[in-house]
Amino acid sequence: MTMSVTMSKKTLFIKGIALFIFVLFIMMSAIPVTSGKLAVKVNRKNITAQNNSVQETFFEIPPSEQWNKTFGGNYSDRGFYCEQTSNEGYIITGHTWSYGNGGYDVWLIRTDADGNEEWNKTFGGENDDVGISVHFTIDDGYIITGSTDSFGAGNSDVWLIKTDAFGNEEWNKTFGKEYNDWGWSVHQTIDNGYVITGIIEPYGEDVRDLWLIKTDAFGNEEWNKTFGGVENDYGYSVQQTSGGGYLILGETNSYGSGSGDVWLIKTDTNGTEEWNKTFGGTNHDAGISMQIEQDKGYIITGITRSFGLDSGDVWLIRTDVFGNEQWNRTFGGTSYDCGASIDTTEDGGFIICAITETYGVGEEDVWLIKTDSSGNEQWNKTFGGTNEDWGYSVQQTTDGGYIIGGCTMSYGVGNMDVWLIKVAAKAELKLTFFFGYVTNIIHMEDFIRFNAQNLFYLVFQPLNFGGYKSSKEIIAKQVLALTIEGNPGIILGFYKTSLL
């Protein structure tokens, strides 16, 4: 598209000003793309400022939801952890009040690749029993940890349950003393045994310590270790390292600089501490989920009230193999936002499942955040309805998408239902830009918006020139052109958008 302009000294001068504004605009590194629930950064570094030229660029947009499924009855049912199985189905654990023997029971649900239930099993007695973590085992079965009030020695004990491929119990073990003890995370070890972390009350309900338990392949305890000080300390996640030791993530109130700090502990193969690191400020901070990047370091998510906004922000921390912080990032707004689960992605970045009160449409929504390898946000997306919805677990699936496990009060049939959400692999949008002159100087605001139908439009703010001050929205389904009576200016627009 070409527009002829009578070139006088005045118009040449104004045209020069417009070109200067345009170059400044091009030099900016990124524009956020927003649509209520979405936010994307668009890289503009590859666009050059040329008159009447065409330039193509690409960027990631939030992937779409493929499906979601709810599981539950008339009462409260909650999912805490899910992962993809070897045949591309999904396994979920949590607890159910709708089914089972009494109170809350551990609930194990197996689905096919489309989230359709294949079977479910409950485990428990007359009191409350909860499943927090589940993993696929090398014999095609499942290992679950959580807590039981129905069995064991104390008020609440760590509970370890082993099932076959169809969820039938093979054995179970309890660990605990006369007070309250909880299991939060379990993994199978290289010797086919299991390692558990959680919380123990060694001397009563006033003080809690982080607890590490190692068992053989049949759940028999080989050793256990406690970590903590005079205040409450908690273990939330554990994995075995490539050297055979263990990495534990949690929260400490005994050490660090604040009322609660992220706590990362490295042990040898016998659970003896090699080093520990705390991360945090003067307010409450906690580490909830982590992943080991082999030979690179560790990636952690949780919550911080010391940094970001003090209402609570999602916190992402990257360390080296010795636990030394390399960088950290916060994500959130004016209300409570908390990171619950993290996974590494095939492109070297990270995916975080969080709970947000700042964004979304309900009281609390599931929040999915994608970053690059340096923790810079690439996109985010919320899921939920008008009530409370929580996401506790995320994993990248073999098709490049994501599976989220949690619970919902917005959907389903009961007071609260287990919620399984499948998100597609990443999408890219190709934008073809047109650069040219119009008959007024205009300045593009620092964002592009798009509506629910993914029809893109640019938002322009004309400069205060010639008395024209109002903004103009232009739908980008065609070549853009804006004509305002006055002097020459600049316009940037799309003439083609393609979702790849």
Q: Supply the CATH number for residue 118's domain.
A: 2.130.10.10
Q: State whether 377 and 457 are in the same domain.
A: no
Residue 203 Cα distances to 178, 207, 232, angstroms: 9, 7, 12
Given this model, what pLDDT does residue 38 score?
Answer: 29
Q: Which of 403, 425, 447 is a domain's end point? A: 425
pLDDT for position 205? 72
Residue 291 lies in a domain: yes
User: Which pLDDT score is estimated for 9?
Assistant: 38
pTM for the model = 0.79
Among candidate residues 408, 425, 442, the one where a domain is terminated: 425
Pair 415, 434 in one domain: no
Domain extent, residue 454, equals: 9-62+429-499
Please check whether residue 2 lies inside any domain of the structure. no
The reported pLDDT for the residue numbered 60 is 63
CA distances from 381 to 36, 128, 353, 451 (A): 9, 34, 10, 15
Rounded to an integer, what is the distance from CA 196 to the centroid of its chain?
A: 23
Alpha-carbon distance 69 to 419, whole Å? 6
CB atoms within 10 A of CB 273: 15
If asked whether residues 50 and 165 sit together in one domain, one would say: no
Domain-located, residue 25? yes
Indicate the residue among 380, 395, 425 that finishes a domain: 425
The C-alpha atoms of residue 151 and residue 379 are separated, in whole angstroms, by 45
What letter represents residue 278's amino acid? Answer: T
Whole-number CA gyration radius for the chain? 27
Q: How far, CA to CA in Å, does 80 sit from each of 92, 137, 277, 451, 462?
A: 7, 18, 27, 33, 51
Nearest to 200 by CA among 151, 234, 169: 234
Residue at token pair 């996640």: 237
Q: Are residues 37 and 139 in the same domain?
A: no
Same domain, 450 and 412: no
Claim to verify: residue 361 and residue 449 sit in the same structural domain: no
In a domain, 483, yes or no: yes
Q: Quick one: 346 and 446 in the same domain?
A: no
The rounded distance, in Å, linking the Cα atoms of 315 and 331 is 7
Cβ neighbours, 10 Å, residue 376? 12
176 with 283, same domain: the answer is yes
Domain count, the chain: 2
Whether 386 and 463 share a structural domain: no
- d(CA 350, CA 369) in angstroms, rounded, equals 8
pLDDT of residue 429: 53
391 lies in the same domain as 464:
no
Q: What is the full per-residue pLDDT of the chain (500 aa) written as tens digits?
A: 333 333 343 343 333 323 322 322 332 233 333 222 223 333 333 333 334 444 455 556 788 899 999 999 999 999 999 999 988 999 999 999 999 998 999 999 999 999 999 999 999 999 999 999 999 999 999 999 999 999 999 799 999 999 999 999 999 999 998 899 999 999 999 999 999 999 999 887 779 999 999 999 999 999 999 999 999 999 999 999 999 999 999 999 999 997 899 999 999 999 999 999 999 999 999 999 999 998 799 999 999 999 998 789 999 999 999 999 999 999 999 999 999 999 999 999 999 999 999 999 989 999 999 999 999 999 999 999 999 999 999 999 999 999 999 999 999 998 999 999 999 997 655 544 443 333 333 333 333 333 333 333 333 333 333 332 333 333 332 323 333 333 333 333 333 334 43
Residue with tokens 């853009």: 480
Does residue 3 lie in a domain region?
no
Considering the domain architecture, whether residues 13 and 151 belong to the same structural domain is answered as no
Dist. CA 456–CA 474, nearest whole Å: 9
58 in the same domain as 69: no
Q: Is residue 349 part of a domain?
A: yes
Domain presence at residue 4: no
Residue 401, in any domain of the structure = yes
